[in-house]
Amino acid sequence: MNGQTGSETEVVVYRESIGYGIWLFLLLTLLFGIFIAVLVIDLVRPISRLYLIFPITCILLFALVYLNFRRLLFEVTESHVRFGFGLIKKEFLRSDITFCEPYELTFKNYLGYGIRFGRDGTVAYNTRNGKGVKMVVNGQKKPYVVSVDDPEHVCGLLQQATR
């Protein structure tokens, strides 16, 4: 696989894209259903148009957040590691990763999903509880934790660059 970065082409060694699963779709459907119910009620018994501003604003904001955070991309090239959601991404040289280990992400530690600060002093890019990697990056104050399906393989790739 090849990836484009600026003017140079890099060989992608590992790429993974992880979504949130069915629960996010169900939440979006619920919000859309509430919006439709408000519109139907307004057609049957007209209410002030000001009451429509709130559901429309909520749906637009949720749609923007959903579009940006619907997928977590994790990519290792010959020289870089990239991960993030939509417009919010991190990129480091593989040689700057000084430590990598498999890590278990828990809701108890991060109190949510997306980009979260953990109670253990880490910064997580996560879409679920479960498997991930913890990376210590040279020059960064906190370790990064990222949801991945095969943490042993990812850490093996990243440790090859530090040798």
Chain segment 25-53, per-residue pLDDT in tens: 787 788 778 777 877 777 777 666 666 77
The larger pLDDT score, comparing residue 64 to residue 122, is at: 122
Sign for the CA dihedral angle at 54, 58, 59, 64 comes to positive
Q: What is the pTM of this model?
A: 0.75
Strand-pair category, 144-147 with 123-126: parallel
Q: Where in the chain is the domain with CATH 2.30.29?
A: 2-19+70-162
Class of domain 2-19+70-162: mainly beta
Give the C-alpha separation, 136 to 103, whole Å. Answer: 12
> What pLDDT score does 3 carry?
45
